[in-house]
Amino acid sequence: MQTDSSFTFVLFGGTGDLSMRKILPALFEAHRAGGMLADSGKIVAVARHVADRGEYLQWVDEHVKPHVSKKGLDESAWASFLARIEFVKIDLGKPEDFTQLRDAIQDLPGIRVFYLATGPSLFVPICHALAAVGLNTNARIVLEKPLGYDLKSSNAINDAVGEIFAEEQIYRIDHYLGKEPVQNLLALRFGNALFEPLWRREWVESIQITIAEELGVEARGDFYDNTGALRDMVQNHLLQLLSIVAMEPPHSMDSDSVRDEKLRVLRALKPIEPLEIGKVAVRGQYHSGVIRGTAVPAYATEHGVKPDSSTETFVALKVEIENWRWAGVPFFLRTGKRLADRVAEIVVNFRPVPHSALGASALRAGANRLVIRLQPNETIRLYCLAKQPGEGMNLASVHLDLAFDQFFREGQMEAYQRLLLDVIHGRLALFVRRDEQEAAWRWVEPILNEWQASHKPPKPYAAGTWGPAAASAMLAQHGTCWLEEEN
């Protein structure tokens, strides 16, 4: 893809973990692919922990290279990428320092992209400082999650940022929306006559959406203990995936058409009443256990975590959508840390045939299912029944694969790479609009409030398992189970 779109990409938090692991590697992949980034495009890193450009480039060489794909990596490509990078030393707590940034970029061509890879407490001060030196025009600003602690604090941030940047300048990023299988889900649904007639309550029995992590809180104990899994993962990632799965066909793939349909799903979520929360919401916290042969500590003993913490590291929810297409279909959402495997997937369970002339085996579990795997390997797999070779009508579950790395010669685009290119080119469809975010907070807040008011501790689960038994029991009440339990 060729582009003449010049840009100046300003990266706040330029020495941070997110910049090193995701943002700069994604920009490098776009750079070495050729033609995706304008030759005149510049990357300006902002930080205070290194002295000058030379020291920053050494930092990048040491901390970014390990996260870059070695396939096709050569020193000339790396050297030309480093040539794009400039550095400005700024203390973000000193608004007067922003004059140095203005002087450094005011003569650079193209759109300005300000990526705030910082803590949310710095979002508003940075925006005010940018406006004070006139850098809020001809600009786009990217906000990382979490955007607030609840609806009130989220609105406060959005109000403050919205006074400085127009809504069409604000890109609230959710990297799960940039993953290839999520894009292909839209293509499968809206580009093929096979799936759309089946994508409704008459033919779908239940849907599961799981984001599971093997890792614990790592070095983020202070942050995580004041956040928890419901705020960190459900309010944004899981509800965004849910809205993509359940949305109506948009008029077109332009940004507002797609986001209007996602918003309708979020507004149609059935409110969970306080008395029902214990039946349809499970919260857990990991204790010590073993993952892949390695003993790991309990959450309460992690660095930065209060010993008596009641913060949840696991959430499972039964969700319903009150609209014509999905009424009565349960959506089961699940996320957690220190689980048995690292996996993110969407499982669409279709209803069995109403009558089987082929015997009871035609009603077996494992058939009539679509599994969209987001990580670690990105695939879409359709399960159905076929006759086993040999005598008799014996059926077996088989699958049809869309394995992107095998079917398409060109390499897959990593989520952050796609989203950063969309920011540079002004494409908003894969970013969260403010009204979407507000609708998600409104639905989540009663659960948060009830958990806080009840003072009940999270249910314990051993690290290396799939979470509390109550999460499995919740599905069993509906005659189903999580995918890994069936296998």
128/225 same-domain check:
no
CATH code where residue 257 lies: 3.30.360.10
- How confident is the model over 426-440, as a mean pLDDT? 95
- pLDDT at residue 290 greater than cutoff 60: yes
Instruction: Decide which of 144, 168, 203 is a domain's last residue.
Output: 144
Question: Is 49 annotated as belonging to a binding site?
Answer: no
pLDDT at residue 421 above 90?
yes
Domain boundary among the residues 120, 144, 168 is at 144
Q: How far is CA 227 from the centre of its chain?
A: 16
Least confident piece of the model among 2-11, 254-263, 314-323, 430-439: 2-11
Does 445 lie in the same domain as 363?
Answer: yes
Q: Are strands 170-172 and 204-212 parallel, antiparallel or unpaired?
A: unpaired
Please determine, for residue 3, whether its predicted confidence score (pLDDT) is greater than 60: no
* Residue 184 confidence (pLDDT): 83
C-alpha Rg value of the chain to the nearest Å: 24
Residue where one domain finishes, among candidates 144, 164, 197: 144
pLDDT classification of 368: cutoffs 50, 70, 90 = confident
Q: How many CB atoms neighbour CB 52 within 10 A? A: 10
Residue 414, annotated as binding a ligand: no
Q: Is residue 2 over pLDDT 50?
A: no
By mean pLDDT, which of 209-223, 393-407, 458-472 is the weakest?
393-407
Kindly report the average pLDDT of the chain as a whole number: 91
- Residue 121, domain member (yes or no): yes
Residue 42 marked as a ligand binder: no
Of the listed ranges 39-53, 60-74, 76-90, 195-209, the least confidently predicted one is 60-74
186-190, 295-299, 333-337, 435-439, range with the lowest pLDDT: 186-190
Using an 8 Å Cβ cutoff, are 383 and 396 in contact? no
Q: Does residue 129 share a domain with residue 187?
A: no
What is the predicted pLDDT for the residue at 358? 66
Q: Residue 330: pLDDT above 80? A: yes
Does a structural domain hold residue 292?
yes
List of residues 6+ apart from 157 with CB closer than 8 A: 120, 123, 124, 147, 148
Q: Which domain holds residue 70?
A: 7-144
Residues 132 and 209 in one domain: no
Whether residue 38 is contained in a domain is answered as yes
Known catalytic residues are: 237
pTM of the model: 0.92
pLDDT of residue 304: 93
Query: Which residues contact residue 166 at a Cβ distance below 8 angstroms, ignoring those fewer than 6 apart?
Result: none
Is 387 inside any structural domain? yes
475 and 405 part of one domain: yes
User: How sure is the predictor about 379, in pLDDT bands with cuts at 50, 70 and 90?
Assistant: confident
Query: Is 73 a residue whose pLDDT tops 80?
Result: no
Rounded to the nearest 10 degrees, how much is the dihedral formed by the CA atoms of 150, 155, 157, 163? 180
Question: What percentage of the chain carries pLDDT values higher than 90?
Answer: 73
Band (pLDDT 50/70/90 cuts) for residue 307 is very high
Q: Do 82 and 208 have their domain in common?
A: no
- Taken in order 293, 299, 304, 307, the sign of the CA dihedral is negative
366: phi > 0 → left, psi -120 to 50 → alpha, else beta; which? left
As to burial, measured by CB atoms within 10 angstroms (0-12 exposed, 13-18 middle, 19+ buried), residue 54 is exposed
- Kindly state whether residues 207 and 263 are assigned to the same domain: yes
156: in domain: no
User: Residue 142 corresponds to which tokens in the numbers above?
Assistant: 């990217």
Same domain (yes/no): 182, 139: no
372 three-state secondary structure: strand
Query: What is the average per-residue pLDDT within 115-142?
Result: 95
One domain for residues 56 and 102: yes
User: What pLDDT does 112 receive?
Assistant: 97
Question: In the predicted model, is pLDDT for residue 93 greater than 70?
Answer: yes
Find the range with the poorest average confidence among 348-352, 370-374, 392-396: 392-396
Average pLDDT in the 295-318 region? 96
CATH number at residue 89: 3.40.50.720
Q: Are residues 103 and 201 in the same domain?
A: no
Helix (H) or strand (E) holding 423: helix 415-425
pLDDT (0 to 100) of residue 243 = 97
Q: Is residue 162 part of a domain?
A: no
Higher pLDDT, 384 or 349: 349
Of the pLDDT bands very low, low, confident and very high (cuts 50, 70, 90), residue 357 is: low
Going by C-alpha positions, the residue among 184, 187, 23 that lies closest to residue 113 is: 23
Query: Does the annotation flag 179 for ligand binding?
Result: yes
Same-domain check for residues 138 and 286: no
Q: Is 175 annotated as a binding residue?
A: yes
Annotation-wise, does 22 bind a ligand? no
Among 427, 426, 424, 443, smallest CA distance to 435 is for 443
**Residue 486 identity (one-letter amino acid):** E
* 251 annotated ligand-binding residue: no
Digit-coded pLDDT (tens) for 170-202: 999 999 999 888 888 888 888 888 888 899 999
* Pair (73, 207) in one structural domain: no
| Residue 163 maps to a domain | no
In the chain, the number of structural domains is 2
Confidence category of residue 1, pLDDT binned at 50, 70, 90: very low
Q: Does 74 carry a binding-site annotation?
A: no
Residue 4 DSSP label: -
Q: In whole angstroms, how far apart are CA 238 and each of 59, 109, 177, 209, 335?
A: 34, 38, 10, 7, 8
Residue 167 placed within a domain: no
Give the pLDDT band (50/70/90) at residue 461: very high
On the question of pLDDT at 392 being above 90, the answer is no
